Amino acid sequence: MLQMRPNCERCDTDLPADQAGAMICSFECTFCAPCAVVFAAICPNCRGQLLPRPSRAQSLHAQFPPSTERVVKAHD
């Protein structure tokens, strides 16, 4: 199950689990779409592809809560 991180790790923009707009790599590094464009859809951490993250239905959040841990790293 995906962690569904709550933010872009470059610019700290909120990325709600039940909405589109997040991009992830196979290690679940998470970025907003504009930051993914800056990186040409290549994860700056692992060099994997950044692809659209699927959304999680709000009705499943109680049983399968998205992560609340915010990850922010310095990326040039």
Helix, strand, or coil (residue 43): coil
Pairwise CA distance, residues 72 & 7, whole Å: 8
Residue 75: pLDDT band by 50, 70, 90 thresholds?
A: confident
Q: What pLDDT does 25 receive?
A: 98
Q: What is the pTM of this model?
A: 0.91
pLDDT tens per residue across span 10-50? 999 999 999 999 999 999 999 999 999 999 999 999 999 99
What does the pLDDT read at residue 74? Answer: 86
Mean pLDDT of 44-70: 95
Q: Distance between CA 29 and CA 69 in Å, rounded?
A: 12
Set out the domains of the chain in order of their start, with CATH numbers. Answer: 1-65 (3.30.40)
Report the pLDDT value the prediction gives residue 50, as an integer from 0 to 100: 98
